[in-house]
Structure 1
Amino acid sequence: MMARRRVGPEDARSWLLVNGARPELFDPAHGSRADQVVLDIEDAVDPARKDEARAGVAQWLSDGERSAWVRINDHSTPYWEDDVATLAGVPGLLGVVLAKTEAAEHVTETYDRLGGATPVLALVESALGIEEAVSTARARGTFRLAFGSGDYRRDTGTSADDLAMAYPRSRLVVASRIGELPGPIDGPTVTHSLPVLREQSAVTVSLGLTGKLCLDPDQAPVLNEIISPAPSDVAWAQDFLADFDARGQVVRDGSDLPRLARARKITRLAETFGVQPA
């Protein structure tokens, strides 16, 4: 299996969720093409197996060559305190994904319990969570926002239609910008159809989200491709920057500065993701 490209969590496109009660899946996930791996000890694990899964994840992460994020149980549950107590100081812990975040203090208390240095990715999964997204984005310890689309639909009765789901996604995009965070991470596509995944990932990009949760390692290469700049965009960015330098970096009209910012962003991401111009 080809080793996954090491893309940092600020820019990570594909976030692979792995059942925390199935340790035989951890090594294959770590070697997959996903930008980041999330070991899930929340919804993926039956309550009767929480202790077992938590201990197994901590043990696996304690190996010096292994690292991953962990999705922990939400602040309102009796499992949250055990999760943060067990994971605090574990060497391979890159950060936690906090389930069902609905308030800034949920993030801050988690961050503080973990020692004040472990990033917290706030998973927003309810109407209240969406409403409080700006304060969550501004909270101390918040690293990035993510959309728990399935639980949001269950909470609100919203369909999976792109139009119906545009509002909460856009709220997370705006909140991330206000909080000066990297772009938010979209919810997963629950299908084995790669054409459907491509289509839904294109909607993710169009709304301004810059990552996506996934449930299968085979989805990661598709997400990475769709969420990355297209080779044609990279060629345009390089040509624009070359022309801008050739004319002495003189701004000609009001469209130059927005295009300059876009070209520089595309170039940076292309270098990060290894995308070559067409």
Structure 2
Amino acid sequence: MARRPDSGGTAVALTWLYAPGDRPEVVRKALEAGADAVIVDLEDAVAPDRREYARAATAELLAGPPAPDGAGVPVHVRVHGEADVRALAGLPGLAGIRLPKITHAASVHHVAALAPGVPLYPLLESALAIEHAYSIAGAHPEVRGIALGEADLRADLGVRDDTGLDWSRGRVVVAARAAGLDPPAMSVFPDVRDLAGLSASCAHGRGLGLLGRAAIHPRQLPVIERAFRPTPREVEAAREVVEAARSEEGALALPDGRFVDAAVVATARRTLALAHRDD
């Protein structure tokens, strides 16, 4: 599997807001909520007898021309099956497809053939998927990111609390990096009222190498944004590294005696990109 070029940290999304595909009015509100991207859900959020309507409503939404100069909010769709992929592939408003319950790279290749040129985001939701994380991450050039589906994974593994998923989270962070992808975003935090708990959970995930988070309610967006934005101290340290790298090649020494290499410089550039992504 060929390693993709590193993205360099530009245009990294921090917030992904889910909206049920069978409620177009909620989708419209989601597009105005301030998220970096909206995920229209045709899977868990839609009852079986509403899926055809949800697919048709989503196709209508995506059939219109994209906003000029990329000004609109990117719309991704979490599909339920092949019928959704066939109905939505090629629509001008489709920015990406979220693939639930992926366990093997072959499934990614199948969807890529049905939707050529569409960015794909496999969701790993079982022990088998975690074991195949790297092969899924590197399965196809259109794979732009991977993430966990933590509710199903928690049930599959039988873990009782949030920290029981830490090994799996670390596994997908390593797999994404090895495949040249951006760091995975965190899965949703289900209690929309517990903003303190959300903040603490985001801080924990950030420490594991995750970047950004999916949300199920607009009130969660500012909390996620704050949690993953670099602190002033981190920005200053990153700026120092980047400035030093402009004048030297290879390993270099900072004024305080620390030595840094190319990987540290790349991380510093990502930090500055995140700090100034709205500039």
With the shorter chain as reference, the TM-score category is 0.7 to 0.9
Q: Secondary structure of 1:45's match?
A: coil
- Structure 2 counterpart of 1:225, one-letter code: R
Q: Gapped runs of 5+ residues in structure 2?
A: 1-8
What's the TM-score, normalizing by structure 2?
Answer: 0.86
Tell me the residue number matched to 1:5. Answer: none
Tell me the residue number matched to 1:42. Answer: 43
User: What is the CA-CA distance between 1:167 and the residue it aligns to?
Assistant: 0.7
Tell me the residue number matched to 1:20. Answer: 21
CA-to-aligned-CA distance 1:101-137 (integer Å, 9 cap, x gap): 11111111111101x2001100111111111111101
Runs of 4+ in 1 over 3 A off after TM superposition: 239-245, 258-262
Report the Cα distance in structure 1 between the residues aligned to 2:228 and 2:138, rounded to whole angstroms. Answer: 25
User: What is the CA-CA distance between 1:63 and the residue it aligns to?
Assistant: 2.3
Report the Cα distance in structure 1 between the residues aligned to 2:120 and 2:269, rounded to whole angstroms. Answer: 28
Tell me the residue number matched to 2:12. Answer: 11
Q: Gapped runs of 5+ residues in structure 1?
A: 1-7, 74-79
User: What is the CA-CA distance between 1:254 and the residue it aligns to?
Assistant: 6.8
Tell me the residue number matched to 1:217. Answer: 218
User: What is the CA-CA distance between 1:232 and the residue it aligns to?
Assistant: 2.1
Query: Does the Cα contact within 8 Å between 2:10 and 2:273 map onto a contact in 1?
Result: no
Moved more, 165-174 or 225-234: 225-234
Alpha-carbon distance change, 182 to 242 in structure 1, aligned in 2, over 3 angstroms: closer
Moved more, 254-263 or 226-235: 254-263
- Work out which of the residue numbers 245, 262, 270 in structure 2 matches 1:265: 270
CA-to-aligned-CA distance 1:242-267 (integer Å, 9 cap, x gap): 4565xx43723772225434322212
CA-to-aligned-CA distance 1:168-194 (integer Å, 9 cap, x gap): 100100110111111112111111211
Say whether residues 1:204 and 2:185 are aligned partners: no
Tell me the residue number matched to 2:5. Answer: none
Residue correspondence of structure 1 range 107-122 to structure 2 within 5 A: 107-114=108-115, 116-122=116-122
CA-to-aligned-CA distance 1:191-215 (integer Å, 9 cap, x gap): 1211111000011110001121110
Residue correspondence of structure 1 range 155-194 to structure 2 within 5 A: 155-162=156-163, 164-191=164-191, 192-194=193-195
Report the Cα distance in structure 1 between the residues aligned to 2:241 and 2:91, rounded to whole angstroms. Answer: 46
Report the Cα distance in structure 2 between the residues aligned to 1:169 and 1:31, rounded to whole angstroms. Answer: 30
Q: Secondary structure of 1:15's match?
A: strand
Give aligned-pair identity as a percent.
34
Residue correspondence of structure 1 range 48-87 to structure 2 within 5 A: 48-64=49-65, 65=67, 67-73=74-80, 80-87=81-88
- Structure 1 counterpart of 2:269, one-letter code: R
Report the Cα distance in structure 2 between the residues aligned to 1:208 and 1:69, rounded to whole angstroms. Answer: 23
Tell me the residue number matched to 1:88. Answer: 89
- Structure 1 counterpart of 2:108, one-letter code: V
Report the Cα distance in structure 2 between the residues aligned to 1:273 and 1:126, rounded to whole angstroms. Answer: 36
Alpha-carbon distance change, 105 to 244 in structure 1, aligned in 2, over 3 angstroms: closer
Tell me the residue number matched to 1:129. Answer: 129
Report the Cα distance in structure 1 between the residues aligned to 2:51 and 2:10, rounded to whole angstroms. Answer: 26
Moved more, 89-98 or 230-239: 230-239
Alpha-carbon distance change, 256 to 14 in structure 1, aligned in 2, over 3 angstroms: same
Report the Cα distance in structure 1 between the residues aligned to 2:245 and 2:175, rounded to whole angstroms. Answer: 32
Q: How many residues align?
A: 257
What's the TM-score, normalizing by structure 1?
Answer: 0.86
Higher RCO (Cα < 8 Å, 6 or more apart): 2
- Structure 2 counterpart of 1:69, one-letter code: H
Report the Cα distance in structure 2 between the residues aligned to 1:110 and 1:240, rounded to whole angstroms. Answer: 41
Query: Does the Cα contact within 8 Å between 2:10 and 2:270 map onto a contact in 1?
Result: no
- Structure 1 counterpart of 2:75, one-letter code: A
Query: Does the Cα contact within 8 Å between 1:228 and 1:273 map onto a contact in 2?
Result: no
Alpha-carbon distance change, 244 to 81 in structure 1, aligned in 2, over 3 angstroms: closer
Query: Does the Cα contact within 8 Å between 1:9 and 1:36 map onto a contact in 2?
Result: no
User: What is the CA-CA distance between 1:273 and the residue it aligns to?
Assistant: 4.4
Alpha-carbon distance change, 244 to 38 in structure 1, aligned in 2, over 3 angstroms: closer
CA RMSD of the aligned region, Å? 2.0
Tell me the residue number matched to 2:230. Answer: 229
- Structure 1 counterpart of 2:52, one-letter code: D
Query: Does the Cα contact within 8 Å between 1:16 and 1:214 map onto a contact in 2?
Result: yes
- Structure 2 counterpart of 1:131, one-letter code: E
